[in-house]
A and B are shown apart, each in its own frame.
Chain A
């Protein structure tokens, strides 16, 4: 498995470049990428150095841009040294089409938001075909999914293996209204335990999960599943200690403990093993009634021992057997002994609207009322 290294600034390049000969570097331009700090001159300079070191170079264009930003991108594109750049990385579909039209470089598509099914991933190939060199897939796809589906993806596959987890991206500036400070990194804390990194820049505000994604111990398993590339993004932890730890790891991939120790926080595997993020849904809402019972109507008022008022969806008749299912899920059998309209006049049958009937026990308002399974229209 190859590794691709995010370089968002000159400082990170200076720290990491001794380790990156022969690796792939992803250079982030301040005007093209969400968190990049490089200008065109710096990017061209690092790209040239990388090529001379035998590294491959990708330019990151992961903004979600409006048309005005795409106009600006055209200007930036004209400033870049394309001889030193091997690929362009995009997330936005429009940026992808734009990049395909304004350059002849292969595209790396970031599909880390959504794209949780194979059809969604393959849809991009219907539009961009062989221009797609690689897709970067979501951490929300567990390793079992990769094992099962990888071979159906007609391009290289990348996943993040050591990275901050971006969980919120807004184009609005949300920190500067609160402070005159101009710091690169803030923290948003929703509790004493949870402090999440926050960055505000010209492109908006970015919130990261408290724990970095750390999958370095699982690289062999990923490679066996067909993952071609693992992304390493150290932008939040560019310390000397980390550079040393990475150097050791590059020479012996089992040495992950020093890297973990160099991270200032607890780490997470994210959804690498499994994704159960919709398992709680059943608890959020009562289950819809999906039985084959035919619904007669809904109880809209009741007076114990006196009456039940039903809003009808189907006709109801005196003598009919009903089943009432209240909002607690309790059922109650009921025989219709009398019906009256809203003027108090007795009825044998009512087709629609509101109808009064003898009281249905333990069936308050919003109880659903169905035909009893044994009842047939000819029974009346």
Chain B
């Protein structure tokens, strides 16, 4: 069955992904990955993550998809041996040198990152010869391309189905390197493609001022049954930097589409986004795939998540946002339904009544039916 592969930017998101039904997660250690600004996992947290994931039947893939410099490679064999020892199922790479070192140092499965922009079956075969077992296709590939690649290379094929997109071929954009002095392919992307640019003609007349290089976000939900039927091995959700609410909503939506062919589209449309597009999944992305707004449209903000249940009738909730007494909150249960949460009796951890809970604090509220640890909660009104 096609797997649902969720982003896990930190241990909390890993737990949320597992709880809401992800089959696998991808995450990064402190080195060799691309999301430098994400929390990422220390070596000890990686070990704990593997233990937790194994207990919950979730596979763990570790990203090592930065383009590395020579001086970093010396530490890599010991690191990948550690990953193998703690039970990581695969590593995600984009650098042929890194792939070679991993092959030489361990028996870890190699998945080729989307950073390698693999969009034809010949490229997939190249990576197969370097020891890869799976390719994460470039986001320029269509479902039809994926079928041909899967047949042509006899490799597992993973496709992004949701989330932010690079407008450029991934791994081929160096705007940040030259304009900001930050290596975009080593975690320093400055998201220059999201900025407004004045587009000038050859006479220096302004043709337009717009974020003309900013892509809308990918949403392939409606295509999931077709992708399941064609045997795509893994559906990847972008977004290690995004909230636990995003992780829960996307995993639920795509799992429902895969298992029941029910499209819980509202879960995705309620998330902050730059406009939604199927991009290249059904054919070359057209001009309607450009996000004219550049910035993200607001959606529902995450209020927090259930930390634990101190007794049968209450839950302890970690707050990301301020929440006042009687404010409407909704808990996302395992079926993807939104349960209202009673905030009429809002207390702190010591039992003192509160009028308002602050961000980064814990409040105690009455329990709702679907509550259990790591269920996520949102503010009931979009920002």
Interface residues of A (CB under 8 A from B): 64-70, 92-98, 113-124, 126-127, 140, 145, 149, 165, 167-179, 181, 183-190, 194-195, 198, 205, 207, 209, 270-271, 276-278, 280-281, 284-285, 288-290, 300-303, 306-307, 309, 311, 340-344, 353-354, 356, 364-366
Contact = CB atoms under 8 A, between A and B. Distances in A.
Contacts of B210: 178
Nearest to B41: A288
B213 A207 contact: yes
B182 A169 contact: no
B267 interface: no
Contacts of A176: 287
Given A67-B149, A165-B178, A303-B348, A186 B130 contact: no
Interface in B66-81: 67-70, 72-73
The 3 residue pairs across chains A and B that have the minimum distance between CB atoms: A119-B97, A94-B122, A94-B123
A265 to B, nearest CB: 13
Interface residues of B, number: 98
Given A113-B171, A303-B350, A94 B140 contact: no
Given A168-B213, A175-B212, A300 B318 contact: yes
A93 B115 CA distance: 13
Interface centre among A97, A186, A190, A278 (most CB of B within 10 A): A278
Contacts of B148: 67
A285 B199 contact: no
A281 B140 contact: no
Interface stretch (B83-91, B254-262, B306-314, B326-334): B306-314
B168 A168 contact: yes
Contact of A189 (B197, B213, B364): B197
Given A113-B185, A118-B70, A341-B310, 6 more contacts: A68-B145, A69-B120, A169-B168, A177-B290, A271-B177, A285-B36
Contact of A115 (B40, B67, B284): B67
Contact of A67 (B37, B120, B284): B120
Interface string B111-125: 000010111111111
A171 B287 contact: no
Interface string B100-140: 11000000000000010111111111110110000000101
A277 B122 contact: no
B376 interface: no
A260 B351 CA distance: 74
B37 to A, nearest CB: 5
Contacts of B285: 171-172
A183 B123 contact: no
Interface in B179-218: 179, 181-183, 185-188, 192-193, 195-202, 204, 207-208, 210, 212-213, 215
21 contacts: A64-B119, A68-B145, A94-B122, A94-B124, A95-B123, A98-B122, A113-B171, A117-B73, A165-B178, A167-B179, A172-B287, A178-B210, A187-B204, A190-B196, A281-B188, A290-B42, A300-B361, A343-B311, A354-B308, A356-B350, A364-B360
Contact of A168 (B73, B126, B149, B173): B173
A186 B36 CA distance: 34
Given A67-B149, A67-B152, A171-B169, A198 B199 contact: yes
Interface in B31-77: 36-37, 40, 42, 67-70, 72-73
A209 B173 CA distance: 11
Contacts of A171: 140, 169, 284-285
Contact of A116 (B67, B101, B286, B289): B67
A224 to B, nearest CB: 21
Contacts of B159: none
B296 interface: no
Contact of B119 (A65, A127, A185): A65
Contact of A118 (B97, B117, B349): B97
Contacts of A97: 122-123, 125-126
Contact of A181 (B174, B201, B213): B201
Contact of B130 (A67, A116, A126, A190): A126
A92 B310 contact: no
Nearest to A282: B36
Given A276-B181, A300-B318, A187 B140 contact: no
Given A117-B95, A365-B360, A354 B349 contact: yes
A188 B206 CA distance: 10
B155 interface: no
A93 B182 contact: no
A270 B115 CA distance: 23
A114 B208 contact: no
A296 B232 CA distance: 43
A92 B120 contact: yes
Contacts of A285: 36-37
B218 to A, nearest CB: 13
A95 B172 CA distance: 16
A66 B141 contact: yes
B247 to A, nearest CB: 19
B219 interface: no
B338 interface: no
Given A165-B178, A178-B210, A189 B200 contact: yes
A281 B199 contact: no
Given A176-B287, A188-B198, A207-B175, A278 B183 contact: yes
B99 interface: yes
B167 interface: yes
Contacts of B179: 167, 190, 194, 209
A343 B169 CA distance: 55
B197 A190 contact: yes
B120 A70 contact: yes
B276 interface: no
B314 to A, nearest CB: 8
Contacts of B175: 167-168, 207
Contacts of B213: 168, 170, 174, 188, 205, 207
A347 B30 CA distance: 36
B27 interface: no
Contacts of A167: 173-175, 177-179
Contacts of A311: 307
